[in-house]
Amino acid sequence: MPNLTNYSEHTSFSNNNWNGWTIIEPSHALKFINEAHNTYVRVNTSPPLLPFPDHYEGTLLIHKEVTSFIAGECYTIALRAKCLSDTVKSPQLSWYIDSSIKHRSDFKPNDEWQHFVIPFKATRSTHVLTLGSDLEGEFALDDIRIFPHVLNIDFEDEEAVDVPPNAERPLRHFTLRNANSNGAITGIRNVDKTKPGMAEGKALILARGQSTAHHVVQLDLYGEYHNIEFFWTQLHSQATVSFFTTNGKLIEKVSHEGGAGGRDFQVSYTSPKSKPISRLQFDVKDHSYIDFMTLKALNC
Instruction: Tell which of 99, 115, 148 closes a domain.
Output: 148
pLDDT at 141: 93
Residues 176 and 287 in one domain: yes
Residue 1 is assigned to a structural domain of this protein: no
Say yes or no: 60 and 131 in one domain.
yes
216, pLDDT greater than 80: yes
Beta-sheet pairing, 30-35 with 38-44? antiparallel
Last residue of a domain, one of 115, 133, 148: 148
What does the pLDDT look like over 8-24, one tens digit per residue? 999 999 989 999 999 98
Q: Judge whether 127 lies within some domain.
A: yes
Question: 92, 124, 148: which is the final residue of a domain?
Answer: 148
Q: Are 34 and 117 in a shared domain? A: yes
Whether residue 204 is found in the same domain as residue 143: no
Under the banding of pLDDT at 50, 70 and 90, the label for residue 39 is very high
Going by pLDDT thresholds of 50, 70 and 90, the confidence category of residue 104 is confident
Which CATH number is 115's domain given?
Answer: 2.60.120.260
In this prediction, residue 50 carries a pLDDT of: 57
- Residue 99, C-beta contacts closer than 8 angstroms, at least 6 positions apart: 53, 55, 56, 128
Tell me if 290 sits within 8 A of 203, measured CB to CB: yes
Counted domains in the chain: 2
For residue range 220-257, list pLDDT tens digits in order: 999 999 999 999 999 988 899 999 998 889 999 999 88
Whether the ω angle into residue 148 lies within 30 degrees of 0, i.e. cis, is no
14 plus 136 within the same structural domain: yes
Q: How confident is the model at residue 1 (pLDDT cuts 50, 70, 90)?
A: very low
Asked whether residue 4 is domain-assigned, the answer is: no
Are 141 and 160 in a shared domain? no
- Residue 3 falls within a domain, yes or no? no
Q: Taking 60 as the threshold, does the pLDDT of residue 261 lie above it?
A: no
Q: Would you call 15 helix, strand, or coil by DSSP?
A: helix
pLDDT on residue 260: 64
pLDDT greater than 80 at residue 123: yes
pLDDT (mean) for 35-44? 89
Q: CA 81, CA 83: separation in Å to the nearest integer?
A: 7
Residues 247 and 235 in one domain: yes
Query: Residue 165: beta bridge partners?
Result: none
Each residue of 171-207: pLDDT tens digit?
A: 999 999 999 877 789 999 999 999 999 999 999 999 8
Which phi and psi angles does 278 have, rounded to 5°? -130, -5
Which residue, among 89, 96, 91, 34, has the nearest Cα to 61 in the 3D structure?
96
Residues 182 and 234 in one domain: yes
112-132 residues labelled b (16+ CB within 10 A) or e (exposed): eebeebbebebeeeebebbbb
Q: CA 51 from chain center: how many Å?
A: 34
pLDDT digits (tens, 9 = 90+) for 41-87: 998 876 655 555 555 666 788 999 999 999 999 999 999 998 887 76
Question: pTM of the entire structure?
Answer: 0.90
Does residue 188 fall inside a structural domain? yes
Asked if 245 and 276 count as a contact pair (C-beta separation under 8 A), the reply is yes
- The answer to whether the beta carbons of residues 132 and 94 sit under 8 Å apart is yes
pLDDT of 174:
97
pLDDT for res 111: 79
The pLDDT tens digits for 139-155 are 899 999 999 999 999 99
Are residue 137 and residue 159 in the same domain, yes or no?
no
Left (φ > 0), alpha (ψ -120 to 50) or beta: where does 72 sit? left
Domain check: are 23 and 38 in the same one? yes
Q: Is residue 267 domain-shared with residue 213, that is, in the same domain? A: yes
- How many angstroms separate the CA atoms of 253 and 79, rounded? 26
Residue 89 located in a structural domain: yes
Residue 92 has pLDDT above 70, yes or no: yes
Mean per-residue pLDDT, 249-274? 88
Domain membership of residue 2 (yes or no) is no
Q: Could you list the residue range(s) of the whole structural domain that residue 116 is in? A: 9-148
Tell whether 173 and 289 lie within a shared domain.
yes
Mean pLDDT of 114-123: 92
